[in-house]
Amino acid sequence: MKKKFKCDIDCANCAAKVEEAIKKIEGVNDAKVNFVMQKFTLDADEEKFEEILKLAVETGKKIEPDFSVEM
């Protein structure tokens, strides 16, 4: 399942770090954090999507405390 969300992230370097960390989460097929568009795209296992989304946001906040996602 693939969904797009509006997100808030401060810089392109932070977006790249958050994206790489989220891609390492089990069940994530792909992730994109677009600094310019302030968009977060998550492609993850449909059965656990909500759980993976929550973990992805928590992971992003550990790297960049200002990272937020509108769900």
* Torsion angle of the four alpha carbons 8, 26, 50, 21, in this order, in degrees rounded to the nearest 10: -10
Average pLDDT score over residue span 8-33: 97
CB 21 within 8 A of CB 63: yes
d(C-alpha 29, C-alpha 42), whole Å: 8
Q: What angle separates helix 12-23 from helix 49-63, to the nearest 10 degrees?
A: 140
With H, G, I as helix, E, B as strand and everything else as coil, classify residue 36.
coil
Q: For 21-67, write each residue's pLDDT tens digit.
A: 999 999 999 999 999 999 999 999 999 999 999 999 999 999 999 99
- Predicted TM-score (pTM) of this structure: 0.95
Question: Does 71 have pLDDT greater than 90?
Answer: no
Q: Kindly report the CATH class assigned to 2-70.
A: alpha beta
CB 68 within 8 A of CB 7: yes
